Amino acid sequence: MPTNRQSRPEEANLWTIRPASAQAEKQWKRAVEAESELMAKERHRLQERPLDRGANPRRTHQLRGPLGSRTIGGKKLPQWQHEITGAGRVWYCPDKEVRVVWVTYMSLQHPQLTD
């Protein structure tokens, strides 16, 4: 998930994207291999504005019920979902204190857990 490019001063306010598990890292890599351009846009969106619901709030929102939060590194964080395609989803937990987006799930297929 991390990029190999050098950090520039204007990138100082960007969020860091990290996988919350080895499985999430594999899912992200598979999605990048399948849809590199789409995933580059998603990476930029998560780095720049992970909490922005944008023009279509139905596509980005905090999950509800038992999926609405997740404990990562001993810290309970809200778990969000962004619909990147009609079926594709990325689930992530933004940690505002350290500006880290923990990716918990990534698929270009619809997650059955939310049905």
Q: What is the reported pTM? A: 0.84
What integer best gives the mean pLDDT of the chain? Answer: 88
CA dist., res. 51 & res. 72, Å (int): 18
CA-based nearest residue to 91, from 102, 100, 99: 102
Rounded average pLDDT over 107-115: 68
**pLDDT tens by residue, 21-63:** 999 999 999 999 999 999 999 999 999 999 988 777 888 999 9
Q: How far apart are CA 110 and CA 88, in angstroms?
A: 6
Residues β-bridged to residue 19? 103
For residues 19 and 28, is the Cβ–Cβ distance under 8 A? yes
> Each residue of 78-87: pLDDT tens digit?
999 999 988 8
